[in-house]
């Protein structure tokens, strides 16, 4: 067992850690280096002031060029060195800031994953996203600035003040006198900034949550046409956020304006007082220049201190508001302390267990039951009876509020998550499928149990046979095989190309007679009656979009080729005949897709072609305009004689197309040899799937029975070539998409079941795990459970289809959160109670 989570080893949970604790947490060495560099930098920054004074008083007044060169060189060197050190300070500061932000995000994310499910029932995902991505940025920036900014600027101010006091104490005191006034006014303005910043943070969370909610429920929004409702909700939040941000920004700008005003007063006092002292001979001209230069340089430290103060205030608000929001007690420790996770005796005992919500609603009331190791029990009852609540309490996902529930004598609520996950597997009614491959999702529980390092290093990576076995058990094997066959080969899979070409040859040799009524194989010397005219001409798979069927009428090269091949006029004639026939037959029939299946005209195009037929009636081909010709040509190129029975193709045209096929291949090789991958029996078509490469032809029918027969022949071929497992392996690399959106509901449930089977846990909890499966698939799963898992794994199943409950050792009927009756199928039927009535209602 290798279950890790850094939060388990934290002495203080992140939600309890003060913001200032991050300043030196893991950054002590960097902060010490930073302090040393800062002190050196400040010392160097005073040098240019002294050099300015000496250049004026000594080099210029005494007209000594050598001193001018020396002092100017020292001035330039100190400026360059100070700038270089400032860059180093910024780099280290950024490193500390980003490291602290990353650690905050990691630790908060780890904490959030351990929080009880009740928290997530009342929290939108957008709130969590906004907190992790946005709200921790400013606190992280503060941590990076926490030592560097105040130390740099305070020491700079002290150094400058000390130097100016040496030059002239009165002028130095006057120069610094404006800053206490700033320190009085700015914090008061900051209170308003803080107030509006809190409102901004809350509104931003609401906005993030609203966006996530709308996107997650987009199918409901569009299905119900609820655009105005959702728009109004979103607009209200955006308008409020806009007002808050305007007020927040105004107060922030006010702080900057006040700060700039007072800082710009400094030179005014220098000019008045310093000028007076210089005129009276009490202050040297070089000293006055140094004072003016220092006054200008004093602006930056004060500006940075004020900005730092704002970052500290904003960061504190964001940090503590975020931490307070997620400051929820973790119900169960992640890993045990000082021991390995238990190998539990998987007998389950429940005594007077109750579950009550925070609102006081009782979901379970005094439930008691006992399940022996390896026993299978079905939980049945009407919706809302507490079946799922009981199952989830036993899975430690809900914390029961009273009573007892034990596994092997250990109280469930006192076990760690590692104890539960080592001994239990759960399949929910709506399982979550993670973005990634079939294989990654299949091995998710297994990898979590054994550890990523162990699996990826190969120490405990399972054999392919075992993966295939659970795919067969769950009924996902055929789906994965289909994913593999529908893969477009690339990367490492290209090494299989010679094998696939060989399978293409063997498929035709072994099954040509059996599948000839369903498949029209590619033959460059034969016209394909179940392919379109365009496909017959090109006789290949377009690599560039310009040669795809829908773009051919806009392809200048292709249109020019049709003219040279004497195909333009015959195709226009064919297009005109198809349009005439289709419009004539279908114009008085109810428009339905079914009637358009035997015509290349689509339902949504019918009105366009109806107008076209009307406009070109009694016209010769040379009399129609360019756009009308393109529409007719497009229709002819789509035409498939075997599929579209609304018109016939003359024999002379098929012969002309075959001649044109060779001409097209020669011309395209000269013009653009990479535009099309031509169909050749000895070459692989890289733009086509493995299935299409093996088939190397056109399927004539959409009949499911024919498709199934073709699939069976394909599987037989793969077995004969010893390539079936490799195809499954390729199929397991299929990417399932976000939340498994490339899979059907049934496929997602099969994958979740396979995931649990693969983990092979001593206890399995199935919460309506087969609700999206058809009857045959569900019976297959139940047969596997009864045949291979009974006696091996304790099973608690929330069952919604009553025709399979006979297979269970016990049946518990729940009503209003209580077990109303429990026993075997025969016992409950003989009793003629609630279960008996439920069975009869569903017959």
Q: In the 8-state DSSP scheme, what is residue 603? A: G
- Rounded CA gap, 236 and 249, in Å? 20
- Whole-angstrom CA distances from 818 to 269, 392, 821 are 84, 15, 9
Residue 8 has pLDDT above 50, yes or no: no
- Whole-angstrom CA distances from 35 to 30, 153, 613, 657 are 9, 12, 86, 82
Q: pLDDT at position 297, please?
A: 66
Residue scoring higher pLDDT (760 or 359): 760
Q: pLDDT at position 334, please?
A: 83
Phi, psi of 361 (to 5 degrees): -85, 130
The two tokens of residue 731 are 């199929």
Phi, psi of 567 (to 5 degrees): -105, -15
Residue 158 has pLDDT above 60, yes or no: yes
Minimum mean pLDDT range among 71-80, 149-158, 514-523: 149-158
Residue 422 has pLDDT above 50, yes or no: yes
Report pTM: 0.75
In 3D, which of 813, 810, 782 has the Cα closest to residue 796?
810
The β-bridge relationship of strands 697-699 and 519-521 is antiparallel
Would you place residue 298 in the very low, low, confident or very high pLDDT band (cuts 50, 70, 90)? low
Q: pLDDT at position 154, please?
A: 83
- Mind spelling out the 3-state secondary structure of 51-73? HHHHHHHHHHCCCCHHHHHHHHH
- Whole-angstrom CA distances from 348 to 2, 180, 533, 706, 764 are 25, 71, 68, 50, 12
- List domains and CATH numbers for the chain: 3-325 (1.20.1560.10), 348-429+786-841 (3.40.50.300), 523-678 (no CATH)
When pLDDT is averaged across residues 309-326 and rounded to a whole number, the result is: 86
- Three-class SS of residue 703? coil
Would you place residue 296 in the very low, low, confident or very high pLDDT band (cuts 50, 70, 90)? low
Let me know if 644 is exposed, middle or buried by CB neighbors in 10 A (0-12, 13-18, 19+).
buried
Best-predicted range by mean pLDDT among 4-18, 24-38, 562-576? Answer: 562-576
- Three-class SS of residue 770? coil
Best-predicted range by mean pLDDT among 211-220, 447-456, 779-788? Answer: 779-788
For residues 729, 733, 739, 743, the Cα torsion angle rounded to the nearest 10 degrees is -60
Residue 277 has pLDDT above 90, yes or no: no
Q: pLDDT at position 133, please?
A: 84
SS3 content of the chain, % helix, strand, coil (to 5): 65, 10, 25
Residue 547 has pLDDT above 60, yes or no: yes
Minimum mean pLDDT range among 206-220, 608-622, 653-667, 771-785: 206-220
Contact by Cβ (8 Å): 536, 663: no
Residue 407's contacts (CB-CB under 8 Å, 6 or more residues apart) are 344, 345, 346, 347, 348, 415, 423, 763
Q: pLDDT at position 646, please?
A: 79
Residue 2 has pLDDT above 60, yes or no: no
Residue 616 has pLDDT above 60, yes or no: yes
In 3D, which of 647, 685, 695, 684 has the Cα closest to residue 521?
695
Would you place residue 590 in the very low, low, confident or very high pLDDT band (cuts 50, 70, 90)? low
The two tokens of residue 85 are 């050190």
CB-CB neighbours of 614 under 10 Å: 9
Residue 280's contacts (CB-CB under 8 Å, 6 or more residues apart) are none
Sheet holding 810-815, edge to edge: 424-427, 763-767, 794-798, 376-381, 810-815, 818-823
The secondary structure of 505-574 as a DSSP string is HHHHHHHHHHHTTTEEE--TTS--TTS-HHHHHH-EEESSGGGSGGGGGG-HHHHHHHHHTT-HHHHHHH
Residue 588 has pLDDT above 60, yes or no: yes
The two tokens of residue 382 are 């009407």
- Rounded CA gap, 612 and 795, in Å? 67
Q: pLDDT at position 266, please?
A: 67
When pLDDT is averaged across residues 356-367 and rounded to a whole number, the result is: 88
Q: In the 8-state DSSP scheme, what is residue 436? A: S
Residue scoring higher pLDDT (178 or 211): 211
Q: First CA to last CA across the chain, in angstroms?
A: 47
**755-812 tens-digit pLDDT:** 999 988 999 999 988 888 888 888 889 899 988 898 899 999 999 888 888 889 999 9
Q: pLDDT at position 219, please?
A: 65
In 3D, which of 235, 239, 234 has the Cα closest to residue 214?
234
Contact by Cβ (8 Å): 141, 315: yes
Would you place residue 655 in the very low, low, confident or very high pLDDT band (cuts 50, 70, 90)? very high
Residue scoring higher pLDDT (64 or 694): 694
The two tokens of residue 792 are 């091996």
Would you place residue 4 in the very low, low, confident or very high pLDDT band (cuts 50, 70, 90)? very low
Beta strands in 738-809 (DSSP E): 763-767, 794-798
- Rounded CA gap, 344 and 419, in Å? 8
In 3D, which of 639, 634, 635, 661 has the Cα closest to residue 650?
639
Contact by Cβ (8 Å): 752, 428: yes
Would you place residue 6 in the very low, low, confident or very high pLDDT band (cuts 50, 70, 90)? very low
Residue 557 has pLDDT above 90, yes or no: yes
Helix (H) or strand (E) holding 541: strand 540-542
Sign of CA pseudo-dihedral 127, 133, 138, 140: positive
**656-689 tens-digit pLDDT:** 999 999 999 999 988 888 899 899 888 888 888 9
CB-CB neighbours of 354 under 10 Å: 17
């Amino acid at each position: 067992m290798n279950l890790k989570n850094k939060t388990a080893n934290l002495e203080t949970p992140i939600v309890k850690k003060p913001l200032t604790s991050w300043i030196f947490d893991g950054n002590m060495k960097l902060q010490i280096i930073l302090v040393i560099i800062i002190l050196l930098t400040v010392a160097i920054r005073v040098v240019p002031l002294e050099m300015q004074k000496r250049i004026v008083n000594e080099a210029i007044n005494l007209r000594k060029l050598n001193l001018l060169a020396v002092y100017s060189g020292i001035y330039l060197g100190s400026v360059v060195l100070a700038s270089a050190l400032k860059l180093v300070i910024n780099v280290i500061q950024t490193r500390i800031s980003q490291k602290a932000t990353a650690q905050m995000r990691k630790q908060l994310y780890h904490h959030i994953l351990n929080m009880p499910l009740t928290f997530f029932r009342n929290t939108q995902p957008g709130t969590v996203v906004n907190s992790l991505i946005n709200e921790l940025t400013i606190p992280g920036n503060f941590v990076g600035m926490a030592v560097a900014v105040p130390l740099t600027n305070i020491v700079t101010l002290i150094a400058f003040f000390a130097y100016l006091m040496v030059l002239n104490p009165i002028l130095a005191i006057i120069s610094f006198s404006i800053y206490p006034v700033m320190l009085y006014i700015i914090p008061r303005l900051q209170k308003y900034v803080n107030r509006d910043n809190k409102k901004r943070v809350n509104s931003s969370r609401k906005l993030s949550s609203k966006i996530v909610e709308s996107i997650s429920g987009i199918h409901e929004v569009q299905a119900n046409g609820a655009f105005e409702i959702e728009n109004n909700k979103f607009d209200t939040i955006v308008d409020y956020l806009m007002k808050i941000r305007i007020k927040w920004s105004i107060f922030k700008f006010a702080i900057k304006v006040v700060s700039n005003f007072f800082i710009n007063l400094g030179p005014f006092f220098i000019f008045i007082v310093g000028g007076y002292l210089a005129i009276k001979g009490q202050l040297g001209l070089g000293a006055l220049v140094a004072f003016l230069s220092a006054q200008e340089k004093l602006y930056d430290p004060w500006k940075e201190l004020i900005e730092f103060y704002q970052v500290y205030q904003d960061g504190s608000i964001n940090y503590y508001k975020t931490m307070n929001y997620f400051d929820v007690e973790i119900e169960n420790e992640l890993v045990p302390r000082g021991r390995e996770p238990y190998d539990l005796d998987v007998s389950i005992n429940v005594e007077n267990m109750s579950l009550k919500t925070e609102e006081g609603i009782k979901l379970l009331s005094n439930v008691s039951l006992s399940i022996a190791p390896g026993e299978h029990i079905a939980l049945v009852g009407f919706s809302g009876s507490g079946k799922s609540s009981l199952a989830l309490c036993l899975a430690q996902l809900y914390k029961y509020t009273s009573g007892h529930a034990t596994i092997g004598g250990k109280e469930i609520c006192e076990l760690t998550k590692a104890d539960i996950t080592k001994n239990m597997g759960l399949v929910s009614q709506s399982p979550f499928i993670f973005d990634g491959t079939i294989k990654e999702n299949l091995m998710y529980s297994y990898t979590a149990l054994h550890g990523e390092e162990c699996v990826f290093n190969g120490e405990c990576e399972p054999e392919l046979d075992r993966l295939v076995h659970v795919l067969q058990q769950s009924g996902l094997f055929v789906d994965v095989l289909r994913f593999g066959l529908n893969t477009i080969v690339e990367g490492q899979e290209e090494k299989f190309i010679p094998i696939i070409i060989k399978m293409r040859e063997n498929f035709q040799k072994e099954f040509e007679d059996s599948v000839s009524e369903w498949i029209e194989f590619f033959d460059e010397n034969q016209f394909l009656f179940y392919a379109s005219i365009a496909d017959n001409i090109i006789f290949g798979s377009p690599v560039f979009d310009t040669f795809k069927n829908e773009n051919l009428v806009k392809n200048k090269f292709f249109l020019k080729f049709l003219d040279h091949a004497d195909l333009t006029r015959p195709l226009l004639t064919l297009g005109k005949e198809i349009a005439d026939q289709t419009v004539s037959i279908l114009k008085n029939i109810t428009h339905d897709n079914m009637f358009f299946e035997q015509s290349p005209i689509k339902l949504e195009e019918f009105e366009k072609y109806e107008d076209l037929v009307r406009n070109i009636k009694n016209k010769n081909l040379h009399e129609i305009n360019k756009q009308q010709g393109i529409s007719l040509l497009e229709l002819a190129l789509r035409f498939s004689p075997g599929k579209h029975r609304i018109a016939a193709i003359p024999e002379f045209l098929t012969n002309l197309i075959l001649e044109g096929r060779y001409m097209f291949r020669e011309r395209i090789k000269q013009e653009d040899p990479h535009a099309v991958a031509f169909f050749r029996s000895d070459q692989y078509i890289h733009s086509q799937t493995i299935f299409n490469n093996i088939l190397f032809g056109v399927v004539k029918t959409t009949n499911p029975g024919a498709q199934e027969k073709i699939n069976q022949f394909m599987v037989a071929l793969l077995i004969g070539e010893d390539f079936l497992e490799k195809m499954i392996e390729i199929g397991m690399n299929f990417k399932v998409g976000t939340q498994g959106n490339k899979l059907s509901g049934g496929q997602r449930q099969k994958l979740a079941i396979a995931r649990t089977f693969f983990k092979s846990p001593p206890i399995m909890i199935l919460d309506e795990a087969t609700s999206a499966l058809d009857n045959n698939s569900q019976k297959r799963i139940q047969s596997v459970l009864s045949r291979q898992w009974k006696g091996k794994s304790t099973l608690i199943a929330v069952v919604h289809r009553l025709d399979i409950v006979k297979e269970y050792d016990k049946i518990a009927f729940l009503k209003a959160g209580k077990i109303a009756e429990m026993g075997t199928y025969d016992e409950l039927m003989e009793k003629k109670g609630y279960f008996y009535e439920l069975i009869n209602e569903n017959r």
